[in-house]
Structure 1
Amino acid sequence: MSRQEPTPREGICAAASRPSDGLDGRPWLETLRLMAAGMGPQRPFQASLTALLRMLSVRHGFLRPHLVLFEPETGLLRLSLADTPPRARHADYSPGEGVTGQVFATGKPVIVDRMRGHPLFLSRLFERTDAELDALSFLCVPILAPAQSDAALSAREVIGTLNADTVFVSREDLELRCAFLEAAAALIANEAAYLQEEMARQRRLPTDVPPEYRETEGEDAAAPFVAQSKVMRHILEQAAHVARGRAPVLLRGEPGVGKERLATRIHATSPRRDMPLVVCHCGAVPPERLEAELCGYQKGAFPGAVQTQKGLFEQAHMGTLFLDAVEDLGPEAQAALLRLLQEHEVLRLGASEPVTADVRVIAASGAPLDDLAARGDFSPELFARLNVCALLIPPLRERREDIIPLAEHALQRHAERHGAAIKRISYPALELLSRYYWPGNVPELKSCLLRAAQYCQDQVIRAGDLPPSLQTAESSATEAGLSLGEAVTRFEKEMLVDALIKAGGNMLKAARDLKSSYRIVNYKVKKYGIDPHQFTFRNKG
C-alpha cells in the first residue's frame, strides 16, 4: 500500500488524542451510515472493504484494522486485507489458535485489555513495539456468512474475523468499541464473503494455464482490439449490437484469435458493465471439479467440503460469465448450464433448493459444436441455447490486413513495459510476417515479435531476427539468385514501407522524409501494391 504506517509513538499518540465518543452514539451511527452508503452490488467489494478499514482508522482511531478470512481448502485463517502493511503477508492461524482462531471457532468476540502477557495474543501479523504491547488493547469480532432467507441465525457460519488495535481507555470504552466492530462486521458480511470466494477461486484455478487457452498472453484482455481488416471491423460492429441484449453469445474460432478479448469488450459495452465479469477456462479445470466450480457446494456435500461455497454461476449474478472451451464441459456441467439459461437458477452440490442467478453467458469454442451436438457428444439443446447470437472470428491467416497493425501494437506494448522502443520493422521482415501461415494466431505473432525484439540490433527488426519457421528462400531478402533489378526493386519497396511506417501511413509526410514528391510516392505505392492504410495504427492512441 502507498500509505506509510506511523511510528509506534505517533500511532499511540494519535489514537490517544482521538475525540472521545464516549456514550454518545451519534458518531458511531454516522460511521455505520457512511459504511452502508459505500456498500452495495454496484460497488467493487474489495474497494468497499478497503475504504471501511480506512474509515475505522481515521474516524475512530483504530490501529491496524484488518480482515482475516477462512480458507476452506487449507483449513487455515489468513490475513486477507489490512489498512497498514503487515509483518508477514502469508502468516496464518488454525481454528482455535490465538485470539483470532478462538473467535473463529466459537463465533464470539474477544477483548484483550492489554496485549502484553495475554495467553492467547500471539502478535503474529504485525510488528508491535514494547511500548505498544504495554499501551494497546486488541479487539477481535466474528464475521458471519451472509444471512439466507430461510436460514436461522444459529445456522450461519463464521467466515472470518474483523480485528483492530486500540488504546486502552477503560473497559467500558473497549466494550463500546467491540460492539461497534460487531455492527461493522455484520454490515460487511456480503463483501467479505465475495472476497473469500474470489480468493478461493484464484487458488483453485491453475496458475499455469496451458498455452492453447491463453487468448491474450501477457496482455490485459481489456486492451484495445486491433482491427484493421473489414471482416474484423464487421465483427466488432456485430459485437456492439449484441452487447446491448441479454441473450447468450457464442464466440467461435481457433485458439488465439481473440475470443476472450472480444468477450471482455462485449461485457464492457453492455448494461452489465458495472457488475462482475467472471472468467472460467473450462479446459484448464479438471473435469471432476468443473461442476463444483460452476455450481458451488453445500457444507458436507463431499469429503473436504468444510464450508458452503458459491460457484461461478452465483458469483456472476447480475453480471457476465465467460466460459472458454465450453466443449470441455461434462454432461453434469452441461445440464447445470442449461438449467441456468432456462430457469435462471443454480443447484449447489449437496443442496435441496436452487438459488436464483441472473447471468449473461458468453461461451467460446474452437471445436465444431454443431458436429459434436449431432454426434451426441454435446447437448443439442444447450448448443441451440448458446447459438442464439454466434460470432465467428476468423484466423489471422484469413485477415492478413491485421498482421502489421497487431505487430506494431505488440511492439508498442513491449516498449511501454520495458522502455526499449523498436524503431521499425524492415520490409523483408514485414513480408515474412505477412506471408506466414500463423497456426498459433495472435499469441504466436506476439511471441515471434517479442523474441525478435530481444535479438535485433539498432532497434530494427530484420528478417534474420525472426524465427527460422518464418524464413524461406522464397521470401528472404538474402536469396542469392536476385538480379540487380530485383534487388533494386526490393530496396525501393523497403524504403517506401519504412517511410510509410514512420509517417503512420501519411503519404505526403513519407514523401517529405524521402525527399521526394507526393506524385512519385503515390505512383510507387500503386506500382508495388502497397496499402498505406495498413500503417495508420502506429499513430493511433
Structure 2
Amino acid sequence: MSINGQPEKVENIYLTTLNEILDSIAPQNDLELSLNSILKILAKDLHFQRAFLAIMDPKSEKLKLSITHSPAKIDHVTYSPGKGVVGRVYETGQAVVIPRMSENTDFLNKAFGRSDEELKSLSFICVPIKKGNSKEDHNVLGTISVDSPILPMDNLLEHKQFLEVVAALISNQVSRLQEEMALQAQMLSQGPLLGGQEVPPPANFVATSKSIKQVLRQARQVGPSRATALLRGESGTGKELLAEAIHACSPRRDKPLVKLNCAALPAELVESELFGHQKGAFTGAYQNKRGLFEVANNGTLFLDEIGELSLDAQAKVLRAIQEKEIQRVGSEHPITVDVRLICATHQPLEKLLKEGRFREDLFYRVNVFPIFIPALRERREDILPLAEQFLEIFSKEYDKNIKRISSPAIDLFTQYHWPGNVRELKNCLERAVLICEEEVIRTYHLPPTLQTAESTATDTSLSFGEAVAKFEQELLVDSLKKARGNMLQAARDLRVSYRIVNYKVKKYNIDVKKYTGAKKNK
C-alpha cells in the first residue's frame, strides 16, 4: 500500500485509521453522523470503493441497509438472515471474504447495482458486529461490509481482521442506534400524535414559546413507551415538572411516580435509599427498609442529578435497568422490579465520561431519548405568562388582593438574564407578593438583583434628567392602564392635579385612547 505515492507499512495505515475512528465515536456525537464518518474514514484510508452498515431491525427481524457513505441505487434494502453473504454473516456470526464478487454465487448485489465490470474487479469483505464483546452468534447486531479492489488473499485477510476490530469498537454505537430504531417503530405504531398539532401543556405547565412546545411534544412522544428519558438543562428549568408530564401520559400513570434527588443525599446513603437495606446491614439499620426501586415497582422512578451517583451506585442502577433486579444492602437475595426510569442532569455527562466519573454503559442506557430544556433567558416569551401564573398562585396562598404587575416591573422581568431560571422567577414573585401592600407589583417590590441588573435593552447613556423623564412616563402609562384611560382617575391615583396629567400626556405624546379598553385587573 502507499500514501501520496510513497510506500507505507500496512500497520501504520491501520494505526492512523484507528486514531481517526476513535476521534469519531465520542459519546456526544450524533449517532448516524458518527457512524457515517467512520465509513468515510475506512473508504478513504484503505481505498475501499464502498463501506456500509446493515443493522438488525428489532421489529421486522431483518437486516436493514442503515448507513452507507456511497448512495445506494435501491432504498430500504433488507437482508434476510441466512440469505446472501450479509444474511449468512449475520446468522453464523462469522466473517466472510470473497476474493472476486463475480465468482461467488451467494453474492446478491442488492443495494448498489454493481456493473459486471465492478463485479469482476472488486473483492467483498463482511464482518459481524456483536453486542459488547460477546462471542455468541445470536448476539449479532448487524454487519459492516466493504467493496475492496482485488488484492492478494493475505491482504484481504488483514483487512478482515482490522474490520473486526472496528466492529468491536462501534458495537455500542450500533446498539444505541438499534434501540432508537425500536423506539421510533413503537412511536409510529401508535399513530401520529395529534396530527402534528400543538400539544396542550399539562396543568401548571406554561408553554408559550416554540422551544418549550417542542419539549412538550417530545415528552408526549416518549411518554407512552417504556424507554428511558434523559432530561437535560440548567438547574431550575423545570425538569421535575417535565418528568411528571411524561409519567402522566404513560400507561403507568395510575402507578407511583417516585422521585430522588441524587445530589441531596450523601454518597453512602444513596444506595440504601435506592435499593433498600436489611436489618443490621450497617450501624443504624434497625429494621428492613424498601428501596425506591421497590416502592416504584410497576411505576416510574425519577432520578434527578444522576451525574452525582457514585460509580458503585451507577453499576447497581445499570443492573436494575438491564436485569430488572436489585439487591438490598446486606442481602444476598435479588428482588425483581419493573420500573420505568426517567433521569435528569444539569451536568455535561460527556465530560464526566472522559474524566471516568460516569460509566459509559450507563450513559448509553439512560440516553435513549434525551430532551434538552432551554434556559429561561432563551425563551423570553414564557417569562410574563409564568410571572402572572406565580402571581395568581401566591396571591391566593398569602390571601393578598394583588391584581397585576406594573409595566416597569414587566420590563425588568423581560430584560433580566435569570441565571436561576424558572425557580428564580418563582422565588422572586413569592417575595414580591409577601412585601407588596398594594394591588400592583412594582419595581421596588422586586429583589435588588433585578433592579440593578444591566440589560442590553437598557440605555446606560441616559442623563439624570432623561432617566427621570423616562420613569415619569412609565408611571403615567401604568396609571392610565389601571384607570382604563380615565385621566381624572389617573390624577387621583397619582395624587396630582388633572392639569398636570393632561400636560404630561401631551408632553410625552401618550395615546390615552388605547388604554380605554384595558381590563382593570390587567
TM-score (norm 1): 0.49
Give the 3 Å change call, closer, same or farther, for CA 351–415 of structure 1 in structure 2. Answer: same
Q: Which amino acid aligns with 1:462?
A: R
Aligned match of 2:292: 312
Q: Residues 333-344 of structure 1 correspond to what in structure 2 (within 5 A)?
A: 333-344=313-324
Aligned match of 1:260: 240
Give the 3 Å change call, closer, same or farther, for CA 382–473 of structure 1 in structure 2. Answer: closer
Q: Please say if 1:437 is aligned against 2:417.
A: yes
Give the fraction of aligned pairs with identical amino acids, expressed as a percent: 49
Among 332, 343, 361, the alignment partner of 1:363 is: 343
Distance 1:448 1:499 in 2: 27
Contact 1:278–1:320 (8 Å) recurs in 2:
yes
Give the 3 Å change call, closer, same or farther, for CA 226–483 of structure 1 in structure 2. Answer: closer
Contact 1:277–1:321 (8 Å) recurs in 2:
yes
Distance 1:422 1:341 in 2: 49
Aligned-pair CA distance for 1:319: 0.3
Among 380, 383, 400, the alignment partner of 1:420 is: 400
Distance 1:484 1:351 in 2: 72
Q: Which amino acid aligns with 1:230?
A: K
Report SS of the residue matched to 1:284.
coil
Report SS of the residue matched to 2:465.
coil
Report SS of the residue matched to 1:471.
helix
Aligned match of 1:482: 466
Contact 1:252–1:390 (8 Å) recurs in 2:
yes
460-469 or 315-324, larger mean C-alpha shift: 460-469
Contact 2:398–2:434 (8 Å) recurs in 1:
no
Give the 3 Å change call, closer, same or farther, for CA 364–452 of structure 1 in structure 2. Answer: same
Aligned-pair CA distance for 1:439: 0.9
TM-score (norm 2): 0.51
Distance 2:470 2:430 in 1: 30
Q: Please say if 1:392 is aligned against 2:361.
A: no
Report SS of the residue matched to 2:303.
strand
Contact 1:299–1:306 (8 Å) recurs in 2:
yes
Q: Residues 363-382 of structure 1 correspond to what in structure 2 (within 5 A)?
A: 363-382=343-362
- 1:51-105 C-alpha deviation (Å, 9 max, x unpaired): xxxxxxxxxxxxxxxxxxxxxxxxxxxxxxxxxxxxxxxxxxxxxxxxxxxxxxx
Aligned-pair CA distance for 1:374: 2.3
Aligned-pair CA distance for 1:241: 1.1
Report SS of the residue matched to 1:410.
helix
Give the 3 Å change call, closer, same or farther, for CA 225–499 of structure 1 in structure 2. Answer: farther
- 1:212-264 C-alpha deviation (Å, 9 max, x unpaired): xxxxxxxxxx8511111111111111101111110111111111111111111
- 1:301-338 C-alpha deviation (Å, 9 max, x unpaired): 23333332221111110000011111111111101110
Distance 1:414 1:488 in 2: 29
Q: Which amino acid aligns with 1:292?
A: S
Aligned-pair CA distance for 1:488: 7.9
Give the 3 Å change call, closer, same or farther, for CA 461–378 of structure 1 in structure 2. Answer: same
Q: Please say if 1:281 is aligned against 2:247.
A: no
Aligned match of 1:505: none
Aligned-pair CA distance for 1:364: 0.8
Aligned match of 1:168: none
Report SS of the residue matched to 2:424.
helix
Aligned match of 2:390: 410
Aligned-pair CA distance for 1:444: 1.3
> 5+ unaligned residues in a row in structure 2: which ranges?
1-201, 485-509
Distance 2:432 2:248 in 1: 33
Q: Which amino acid aligns with 1:290?
A: V
Distance 1:335 1:484 in 2: 62
Distance 2:453 2:273 in 1: 51
Distance 1:422 1:360 in 2: 42
Q: Please say if 1:293 is aligned against 2:293.
A: no
Among 251, 254, 269, the alignment partner of 2:231 is: 251
Q: Which has the larger radius of gyration?
A: 2
Number of matched residues? 289
Q: Which amino acid aligns with 2:285?
A: A
Give the 3 Å change call, closer, same or farther, for CA 298–420 of structure 1 in structure 2. Answer: same
Q: Residues 29-48 of structure 1 correspond to what in structure 2 (within 5 A)?
A: none
Report SS of the residue matched to 1:257.
coil
Distance 1:237 1:247 in 2: 16
Aligned-pair CA distance for 1:472: 3.7
Aligned match of 1:213: none
- 1:474-499 C-alpha deviation (Å, 9 max, x unpaired): 75999833289856864686578769
> 5+ unaligned residues in a row in structure 1: which ranges?
1-221, 501-519, 526-534
